[in-house]
Amino acid sequence: MDQRTKFTVEAFWDPEAQVWCSNSDIIGLVIETDTLDEFEEVLADAAFDLIVANHWGGGIDPTRSLQELMPTIVFKRPAEAA
């Protein structure tokens, strides 16, 4: 399984649905919220568990240090909403 440790999440506004949506390389992460603050809360609650379940499903490589395994999640908050 994929045991990379850097993942990217972007938020974008869907004008038709009137919600913030996610675009991510984290398998299974789908976010739709009314506000960016809610988006960040859902991201914080779900991302790590989804990485472990969907990217590290075959187990963690015991030869890698804990520091190497800690995932980094880069959230690209839209500039116009910051």
DSSP for 11-74? EEEETTTTEEEEEESSTT---EESSHHHHHHHHHHHHHHHHHHHHSTT---TTS-HHHHS-EEE
pTM of the shown model: 0.77
Tens of each residue's pLDDT in the chain, 82 residues: 455 678 999 999 999 999 999 999 999 999 999 999 999 999 999 998 898 888 876 666 778 776 777 778 889 888 876 4
By CB neighbour count within 10 A (0-12 exposed, 13-18 middle, 19+ buried), where does 66 fall? exposed
- Whether 57 and 49 have beta carbons less than 8 Å apart is answered as no
Architecture in CATH for domain 6-81? 2-Layer Sandwich (3.30)
- Whether 40 and 29 have beta carbons less than 8 Å apart is answered as no
In the chain, where are the structural domains located?
A: 6-81
